[in-house]
Amino acid sequence: MHTLLPVLFALGAALSNAFATVLQRKAALDVPRSQGLRAGLMLDLLRRPVWLAGMAAVVVAGVCQAVALGTGPLTIVQPLFVLELPLALILATWLLHGSLPRGGWVALAAVVVGLGIALGAASPSGNRTDVPAERWAVALPVCAAVVLALAAAALRRPEGRARAACLGTATAVSYAVTAALMKEAVHILDDHGLGAFLTAWQTYAFAATGVAAIFLLEHAMQAGPLVASQPALTLGDAAVSLCLGILLFEEHVRTGWWLLPEAAGVALVVAGVLALARMPLARALAASDERGAAVP
């Protein structure tokens, strides 16, 4: 299966999301902090031009992601979004006139190399264009229950690592479900035209879950340090997407002895993401001591 097109568009989506991450984190720290899930947070953010610029980048990312999902497996496209954090930090060094230490570049290389090893060993394949309704009937309620449980757990905790991790993981599940729904909606558009796309429940479902993911993301940004929320978001999205790709779209990854290099690649990615999330520049994007941010 030709994978160049989905890979290129997935990388474009990751880059656009990285722009959005930097801009949205900057905006989220300039609005009143929330003790709970406050709907007014979105109204506050809508008044910030930098947040609107971030949302424009989200739109570009969404278009790139739709093309990638329409032409390639979920199990290839979504894991590439792991690159969002390294790209966001590189962009932040430019926008904030900062710099990454040598250890940061080593961690960045670990993420890139580890992702390449994991995807190369797994060699995801399959690109089913429709999902039986009974599979959605199981997957959607399960994912919704997980998101609600994580959000409830976050609300029972004060600002800090645990709360940020719960909300980051809830956001990851929401993003993975959005991608799965978008994938089928894009295939409906491609196979049956605009009319079928506009009347398909998947179209409105992925729009709703996407809005929910953004809502959770904004609160995750304020809930605690990046070292807690970003790894949960980055790694959780890839892991849940892998499961959904296999269970819903019948995609395949290699097993047997291939699990060894896959595990090694994943270990490099996890180590790199955790190290990057601890970088001072990364923490500056998520919290500000001068503004009374959450204590790690």
Mean pLDDT across the stretch 176-182?
94
Which residues are bridge partners to 252 per DSSP?
A: 125
Residue 21 lies in a domain: yes
How far from 190 is each of 1, 45, 66, 74, 241, CA to CA, in Å? 18, 35, 11, 17, 22
Residue 40 lies in a domain: yes
Residue 181 lies in a domain: yes
Q: What was the pLDDT predicted at 289?
A: 37
- The DSSP element (H or E) to which 144 belongs, if any, is helix 133-155
- Lookup result for tokens 């190369």: 120
How far from 21 is each of 199, 221, 240, 283, CA to CA, in Å? 32, 10, 20, 13
DSSP 293: P
Distance between CA atoms of residues 25 and 168, nearest Å: 14
pLDDT tens per residue, range 3-15: 788 999 999 999 9
Residue 51 lies in a domain: yes
Q: CB-based contacts of 143: which residues, under 8 Å, 6+ apart?
A: 173, 174, 176, 177, 240
- Average pLDDT value over all residues in the chain: 83
For the cut 90, the answer to whether the pLDDT of residue 201 exceeds it is: yes
DSSP 14: H
Residue 114 lies in a domain: yes
For the cut 60, the answer to whether the pLDDT of residue 29 exceeds it is: no
For the cut 60, the answer to whether the pLDDT of residue 293 exceeds it is: no
Residue 66 lies in a domain: yes
- Count of structural domains, the chain: 1
Least trusted range by pLDDT, from 62-66, 90-94, 116-120, 140-144 = 90-94
pLDDT confidence tier of residue 45, bands split at 50, 70 and 90: low
Contact 74, 180 (CB under 8 A): yes
Mean pLDDT across the stretch 152-178?
89
Q: What was the pLDDT predicted at 44?
A: 59
Domain extent for 118: 4-291
pLDDT confidence tier of residue 287, bands split at 50, 70 and 90: very low
Residue 296 lies in a domain: no
Instruction: Report phi then psi at 252, rounded to 5.
Output: -125, 145
Q: What was the pLDDT predicted at 285?
A: 57
For the cut 80, the answer to whether the pLDDT of residue 106 exceeds it is: yes
Mean pLDDT across the stretch 99-111?
87
Report which of residues 134 and 290 the model is more confident about: 134
